[in-house]
Amino acid sequence: MVDRRNKRVITLEEYIIQAQNKFPGATGELSQLLRDIGLAAKIISREVNKAGITNILGEDGSTNVHGETVKKLDLFADKQLISSLNRSNITCMVISEENDGIVELDNEGGKYIVYLDPLDGSSNIDVNVSIGSIFSIYMRQSDIDEGLSKADALQPGLKQVAAGYVLYGSSTLMAYTTGLGVSVFTLDPSIGEFILSDDDIKIPETGTIYSVNEGSYNSWDLGLKKYIKYCQVEDPQTNRPYKARYIGSMVADVHRTLITGGIFIYPHSSQYPSGKLRLMYECNPLSFLIEQAGGMAIDGEGRILEIKPNAIHQRTPIYIGSRQNVLKVREFIREYS
């Protein structure tokens, strides 16, 4: 937590500029891109807050590329983020949960590729529960004269140059990393600015909360079943039984895990043989953040960030959180597989 006594308030804009100034050769493009996302986040936050009193709330009757019902706010957030990214000549391509294919922007020469989950956890919109936006940024690999290639879009998570999320909760906050730790900003709605609230935040090494949709228990592998039973057994030395917490919004569940420690799990199951969550715009960005905060993220065995993607909308199981909790679940998975 940043000690605010005798410290002046630092806005997201100032913070980004200060960070950029530490790298004399920086062109400022990534900084501009992050500012564009920050602007879109403020506009989405405003709409999320007033969703209940406008007609924007609810389903629009169409389905997205995954066959899930799309809520109106998903479409609004998608449009807002894409048009914000299109303002500067920085981003050449966007891949979003809401769009089947690649969205090529007007900036053919742009050097960044952005993956987006514009509004994650949208089943929570109607019931006034936290939702979030997720972004993941890569550097383009192909030469500008060559045109964009598949390799530009399908880079492993380790190649991310920045990633973050915006959580629309009891307050709106933005957390991001450029590979130099994780910074968190809280939106002050009275002045319309994101204010630095935590710099270089670290996840506890171990935690006492597990977060998984236990309704799917019967369709899990034995290793995960045994691990969850382990979490529930009483053992004062390891502070067990752990608490169960599950919001059903990945951003909110992972943000809580970042702050309080513990583990968030979305495993593969008979319903979702490859897991439900998407590698490129859900798991990779949040894994980058959690690793930057000192935590761990695996697909059950290997590191999420090392997965070589073969499709833009591919899914993966994920076990993410405090190092000790992730190592423990992996022990169970190995023992019972």
The one of Mg ion, ligand AHM, none whose footprint includes residue 276, by CB under 5 to 8 A per kind, is ligand AHM
**Considering only CA atoms, which of 212, 124, 209, 115 is closest in space to residue 164?**
115
> Which residue's entry shows tokens 């204010």?
195
Which residues between 113 and 142 bind Mg ion (CB under 5 A)?
A: 117, 120
**Considering only CA atoms, which of 46, 141, 148, 63 is closest in space to residue 97?**
63
Stretch that binds ligand AHM, among 32-40, 156-164, 199-207, 246-254 (CB under 6 A): 246-254
Rank residues 56 and 161 by Cβ distance to ligand AHM and give the closer one: 56
Give every strand in the sheet of 243-244, ordered side by side. 243-244, 209-211, 263-266, 318-321, 296-298
Under rule CB under 5 A, residue 193 binds Mg ion:
no
Q: Report the C-alpha gap between 225 and 217 in whole angstroms.
A: 7
Contact pick of 172, 177, 206, 249 for ligand AHM (by CB under 6 A): 249
211 is in an annotated binding site: no
In sequence order, the 6+-apart residues with CB closer than 8 A to the CB of 267 are 212, 216, 220, 221, 224, 275, 300, 317, 319
Maximum distance among all alpha carbons in the chain? Answer: 63
Least CB distance to ligand AHM at residue 68 (A): 5
Stretch that binds ligand AHM, among 16-24, 113-121, 155-163, 224-232 (CB under 6 A): 113-121
Which residues between 185 and 244 bind ligand AHM (CB under 6 A)?
A: 213
Least CB distance to ligand AHM at residue 167 (A): 11
**Beta bridge partner(s), residue 243:** 209
Contact pick of 34, 125, 187, 250 for ligand AHM (by CB under 6 A): 250
Kindly state the number of chain residues that form the binding site for Mg ion, as judged by CB under 5 A: 2
Rank residues 125 and 187 by Cβ distance to ligand AHM and give the closer one: 125
Rank residues 12 and 254 by Cβ distance to Mg ion and give the closer one: 254
Q: Kindly list the distances between the CA atom of residue 43 and the CA atoms of 49, 126, 127, 187, 254, in Å, as whole numbers in the listed order.
A: 10, 19, 21, 11, 23
Rank residues 102 and 139 by Cβ distance to Mg ion and give the closer one: 102
Contact pick of 23, 68, 144, 229 for ligand AHM (by CB under 6 A): 68
Under rule CB under 6 A, residue 121 binds ligand AHM:
yes
Rank residues 123 and 239 by Cβ distance to ligand AHM and give the closer one: 123
121 is in an annotated binding site: yes
Query: Are 285 and 136 within 8 A, CB to CB?
Result: yes
324: tokens are 């000790």
Rank residues 261 and 267 by Cβ distance to ligand AHM and give the closer one: 267
DSSP-derived 3-state class of residue 290: helix
